[in-house]
């Protein structure tokens, strides 16, 4: 097992990969490799498999196959984070152990979404995952678009039990900024927090003390540039970049998870990274021509800024 001293730390810009499919619905690993290569070439510190990777629409064997491919592709280039949340504790633990066995730097998990859990049950679920592995666990509250919010007390108990190097956090419940500050203050600044708003809240969250961001790959060049501007304290550059990013992400947010999926794949095709915009079915929203035209106009403005 990798010791915590030699394990690469999760930090910086860690994009969540979109999963490319063939027209027949199979994994397109050639395109996935191109996406991962582009991510690292663009300045990503690692890659993530999570909600916009369509994991909720994959079989368990498909999730394992995707994890194996991503971890192997990221080896030696950056960190890899694999989402392992499931509807039962044993399945989540098994997925976490599999991710660790294929070289994941960390795992991430949302609570089960088919039932409403008590705080104690939520804590026990995450504690079982963390206890079953030796790599870090990112506790994700994805309630902005799926599942229920996690009580702040759960974070504190997990942090106390496992320590800040084993338990990290990705809170997404609204309002994101104030909730992030509550978590930071309640843990005495020990909580290592990522934001995952696609970039729309990145500036606000950075100022509240996050250690990294998990955006999509579609706007990665802009997010890397924005992260660098935040680290440099260059306010003019920060707002030149963040305003068009926010406008695009606002359109994604308006349609929920399917909005992120459809618009991100649209932009990845525009970049020449993806061959198509195929998603696993069924979906609740597809991009219309007028939304696509507005996304394209905003994307062109963002590229001009870059």
Tens digits of residue pLDDT in 55-70: 999 999 999 999 999 9
Q: How far is Cα 71 from Cα 237, in angstroms, rounded to an integer?
A: 34
Q: How far is Cα 98 from Cα 295, in angstroms, rounded to an integer?
A: 38
Residues 6+ apart with CB under 8 A from 29: 69
Q: HSE of 79 in the Cβ direction (CA atoms, 13 Å)? A: 23
Q: What are phi and psi of 49, to 5 degrees?
A: -105, 120
User: What was the pLDDT predicted at 170?
Assistant: 95
Q: What are phi and psi of 194, to 5 degrees?
A: -110, 150
User: What was the pLDDT predicted at 1?
Assistant: 45
How far out from the chain centre does Cα 260 lie?
12
Residues of the chain with pLDDT under 70: 1-7
Q: Are 117 and 148 in contact (CB under 8 A)?
A: yes
Closest CA to 80 of 59, 58, 62, 53: 53
User: What was the pLDDT predicted at 174?
Assistant: 86
DSSP secondary structure letter of residue 199: T
CA angle 303, 214, 110 (to 5 degrees): 145
Count of C-beta atoms within a 10 Å radius of residue 68: 17
Q: Are 129 and 92 in contact (CB under 8 A)?
A: yes
User: What was the pLDDT predicted at 6?
Assistant: 56
Domain extents in the chain: 12-218
Q: Are 141 and 193 in contact (CB under 8 A)?
A: no
User: What was the pLDDT predicted at 7?
Assistant: 66
Specify the DSSP element, H or E, that contains 47: strand 46-49
Residues 6+ apart with CB under 8 A from 299: 248, 267, 270
Q: Quote the CATH superfamily of domain 12-218.
A: Aldolase class I (3.20.20.70)
User: What was the pLDDT predicted at 4?
Assistant: 52
pTM of the predicted protein model: 0.95
Return the SS3 of 213: strand
What are the CA-CA distances from residue 101 to residues 19, 27, 94, 126, 304 (Å)? 21, 21, 10, 19, 43
User: What was the pLDDT predicted at 2?
Assistant: 47
Please check if 51 is assigned to a binding site: no
Q: What are phi and psi of 23, to 5 degrees?
A: -60, -20
User: What was the pLDDT predicted at 147?
Assistant: 74
Q: How far is Cα 96 from Cα 158, in angstroms, rounded to an integer?
A: 17
For 266, left (φ over 0), alpha (ψ -120 to 50), or beta?
A: alpha
Q: How far is Cα 206 from Cα 195, in angstroms, rounded to an integer?
A: 8
């Amino acid at each position: 097992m990798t010791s915590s001293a030699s394990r690469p730390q999760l930090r910086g810009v860690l994009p969540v990969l979109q999963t490319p499919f063939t027209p027949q619905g199979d994994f397109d690993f050639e395109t996935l490799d191109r996406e991962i290569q582009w991510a690292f070439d663009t300045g990503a510190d690692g890659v993530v498999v999570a909600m916009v990777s369509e994991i909720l629409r994959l079989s368990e064997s498909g999730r394992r196959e995707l994890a194996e491919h991503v971890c192997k592709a990221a080896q030696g280039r950056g960190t890899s984070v694999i989402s392992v949340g499931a509807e039962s504790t044993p399945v989540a633990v098994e997925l976490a152990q599999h991710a660790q066995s294929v070289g994941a730097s960390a795992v991430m998990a949302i609570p089960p979404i088919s039932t409403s859990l008590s705080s104690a049950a939520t804590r026990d679920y995450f504690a079982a995952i963390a206890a079953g592995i030796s790599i870090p666990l990112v506790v994700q509250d994805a309630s902005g678009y799926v599942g229920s919010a996690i009580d702040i007390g759960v974070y504190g108990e997990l942090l106390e039990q496992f320590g800040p190097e084993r338990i990290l956090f990705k809170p997404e419940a609204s309002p994101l900024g104030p909730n992030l500050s509550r978590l930071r203050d309640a843990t005495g600044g020990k909580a290592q927090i990522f934001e995952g708003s696609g970039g729309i809240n990145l500036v606000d969250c950075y100022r509240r003390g996050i250690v990294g961001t998990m955006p999509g790959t579609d706007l990665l060049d802009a997010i890397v540039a924005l992260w660098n501007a935040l680290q440099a304290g260059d306010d003019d550059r920060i707002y030149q970049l963040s305003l068009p990013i926010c406008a695009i992400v606002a359109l994604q947010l308006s349609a929920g998870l399917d909005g992120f999926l459809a618009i991100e794949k649209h932009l990845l095709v525009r970049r020449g990274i993806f061959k198509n915009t195929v998603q696993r079915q069924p979906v609740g929203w597809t991009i219309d021509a007028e939304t696509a035209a507005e996304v394209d106009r905003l994307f062109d403005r963002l590229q001009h800024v870059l």
